[in-house]
């Protein structure tokens, strides 16, 4: 916690200054821009309002995007129905082929039975127990069954060839449907992302500094909507000389004073978080420890704000 003790500091009559560097307070600022194009249906923020990270603060119209998504869902359903029909056709052809195989097995069984019957009647004919005609009838029956067997085999071979060709065609059509479905899925993911981008979300916890648009306006992708600043964790950008730089390092603790004027100051514990690797000419509004130097180095000192430090306020640093 920052110290809230209010100190009145007077440097008159002292030989040494009460601070080593001066600067102004800054905060991490984020400009929130529109991620979608359309009418701004709502924007529930106002200047000075505090918002939380991830908070939903507004919404951009998505009616046309929703319609496109519904159309894609209809197209996907139609493709799914076409794929089911192709699968049904393939199953029907396979069923026909199964029937031919069963028919072939049945004829083969009849031939086997007839051949056993012929063997039995052949013995009876030799013994004169039955007339020769019965044996001839069995031979004719076997010949008919063999012709049926060969015809069924030819039909089965033709069916297999046709099924193979049909299977290739159905597989190609189903692959084409799968490719179309994959394309529709990709478009739906794009639309889902666009619809999600229509929600205006606060990217950080902070205070609204400026609001650029109002509800009902038409916004385009990239248009600034409002500006946020994290005023809880602030920092002062100060400038030090090269002589001072040798005694300063990142992570070093120091004291920071918010200057309210008329020697009214407030002390906060600070931590050096950044030191510039390049020198620059002294800003006109900055005074260094002893006197203005030609070249100085920028440093950032972070503080936890208790609500009294404001962006742009003048401050001092004591290392």
149 lies in some domain: yes
Cβ atoms of residues 111 and 118 within 8 Å: no
Q: Are residues 118 and 230 located together in one domain of the fold?
A: no
Residue 91: pLDDT band (50, 70, 90) is: low
Cβ neighbours of residue 160 closer than 8 Å, sequence gap 6 or more: 97
Q: What confidence tens digit (pLDDT) does each residue in 14-46 have?
A: 445 678 899 999 999 999 999 999 999 999 999
Cβ neighbours of residue 51 closer than 8 Å, sequence gap 6 or more: 45, 57, 202, 205, 206, 207, 208, 228
Q: Are residues 181 and 90 located together in one domain of the fold?
A: yes
293 lies in some domain: yes
Residue 8 has pLDDT above 50, yes or no: no
pLDDT on residue 5? 32
1 lies in some domain: no
Domain of 36, in residue numbers: 6-61+206-318
Boundary-marking domain end, from 155, 171, 196: 196
Q: Is the pTM of this model over 0.95?
A: no
What is the enclosing helix (H) or strand (E) of 183?
helix 132-197
Q: How many domains does the chain have?
A: 2
Q: For the chain, how big is the Rg over CA atoms in Å? A: 45
Q: What confidence tens digit (pLDDT) does each residue in 148-204 have?
A: 888 877 777 777 776 766 667 777 888 888 899 999 999 999 999 999 999 999 999
């Amino acid at each position: 916690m920052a110290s809230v003790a209010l100190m009145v500091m007077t440097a008159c009559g002292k030989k040494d200054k009460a601070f080593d560097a001066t600067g102004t307070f800054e905060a991490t600022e984020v400009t929130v821009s529109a991620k979608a194009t359309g009418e701004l249906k709502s924007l529930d923020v106002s200047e000075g309002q505090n918002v939380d990270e991830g908070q939903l603060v507004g919404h951009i119209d998505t009616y046309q995007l929703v319609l496109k998504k519904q159309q894609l869902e209809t197209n996907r359903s139609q493709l799914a129905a076409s794929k089911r029909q192709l699968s049904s056709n393939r199953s029907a052809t396979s069923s026909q082929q199964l029937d031919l195989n069963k028919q072939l097995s049945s004829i083969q069984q009849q031939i086997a039975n007839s051949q056993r019957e012929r063997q039995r009647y052949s013995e009876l004919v030799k013994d004169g127990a039955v007339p020769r005609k019965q044996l001839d009838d069995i031979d004719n029956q076997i010949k008919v069954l063999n012709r049926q067997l060969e015809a069924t085999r030819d039909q089965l071979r033709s069916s297999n060839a046709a099924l193979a060709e049909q299977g290739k065609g159905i597989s190609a059509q189903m692959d084409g449907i799968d490719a179309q479905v994959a394309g529709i899925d990709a478009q739906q993911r794009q639309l889902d992302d666009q619809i999600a981008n229509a929600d205006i979300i606060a990217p950080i916890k902070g205070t609204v500094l400026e609001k650029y648009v109002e509800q009902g306006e038409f916004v385009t992708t990239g248009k600034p909507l409002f500006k946020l600043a994290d005023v809880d964790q602030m920092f002062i950008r100060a400038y030090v000389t090269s002589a001072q730089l040798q005694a300063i390092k990142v992570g070093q603790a120091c004291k920071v004073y918010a200057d309210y004027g008329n020697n009214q100051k407030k002390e906060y514990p600070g931590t050096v978080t950044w030191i510039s690797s390049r020198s620059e000419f002294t800003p006109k509004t900055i005074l260094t420890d002893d006197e203005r130097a030609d070249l100085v180095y920028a440093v950032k000192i972070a503080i936890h704000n208790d609500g009294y430090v404001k962006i742009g306020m003048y401050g001092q640093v004591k290392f």
